[in-house]
């Protein structure tokens, strides 16, 4: 239903996925605000807004004048947070919706192959 997402949230997801997929590990230097903005075709301030979300969660360490680094233990921390959020928030509603429209978990398993 709702597919439209603000750019800064899309960027946040892009970076999150990169971290979860192992592209950036603990201590790694993230792309600079301006560089990442350039590759993504976005505004530097929008990228900064996305990075700000990581700072708010303590997932990156800022070295002013140098760049942003993936904080110690951030990869695991991010994965745990995502898992907890999925279990607590996303899944219950998904499960409800599935039940309402008559789709069971067993109907989905076969597609995993």
Partner DNA sequence: TGCACTGTATTATGGCACTGATGCACTATG
Partner DNA sequence: CATAGTGCATCAGTGCCATAATACAGTGCA
Q: Which residues bind DNA (CB under 7 A)?
A: 5-9, 30-35, 42-46, 48-49, 51-52, 55, 62-68
Q: Does 48 bind a copy of itself (CB under 8 A)?
A: no
In angstroms, what is the minimal distance from the CB of 54 to a copy of itself? 14
Residue 42 three-state SS? coil
What gap in Å lies between CA 30 and CA 41, rounded to an integer?
17
Residues 6+ apart with CB under 8 A from 31: 39
Helices (H), the chain: 7-20, 33-40, 44-56, 74-85, 91-101, 105-109
Q: Does 63 bind a copy of itself (CB under 8 A)?
A: no
In angstroms, what is the minimal distance from the CB of 79 to a copy of itself? 6
CB-wise, 26 or 98, nearer to DNA?
26
Residue 28 · residue 54 · CB < 8 Å: no
CB-wise, 5 or 38, nearer to a copy of itself?
5
Candidates 23-31, 32-40, 41-49, 78-86 — which segment interacts with a copy of itself by CB under 8 A? 78-86
What gap in Å lies between CA 75 and CA 21, rounded to an integer?
9
In angstroms, what is the minimal distance from the CB of 1 to DNA? 10
């Amino acid at each position: 239903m709702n597919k439209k997402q603000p750019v800064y949230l899309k960027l946040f997801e892009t970076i999150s996925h990169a971290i979860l997929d192992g592209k950036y590990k603990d201590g790694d230097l993230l792309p600079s605000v301006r560089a990442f903005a350039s590759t993504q075709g976005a505004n530097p301030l929008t990228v900064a807004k996305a990075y700000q979300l990581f700072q708010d969660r303590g997932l990156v360490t800022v070295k002013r004048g140098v760049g942003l680094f993936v904080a110690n233990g951030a990869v695991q921390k991010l994965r745990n947070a995502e898992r907890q959020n999925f279990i607590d928030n996303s899944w219950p509603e998904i499960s409800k919706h599935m039940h309402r429209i008559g789709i069971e978990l067993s109907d989905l398993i076969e597609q995993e192959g």
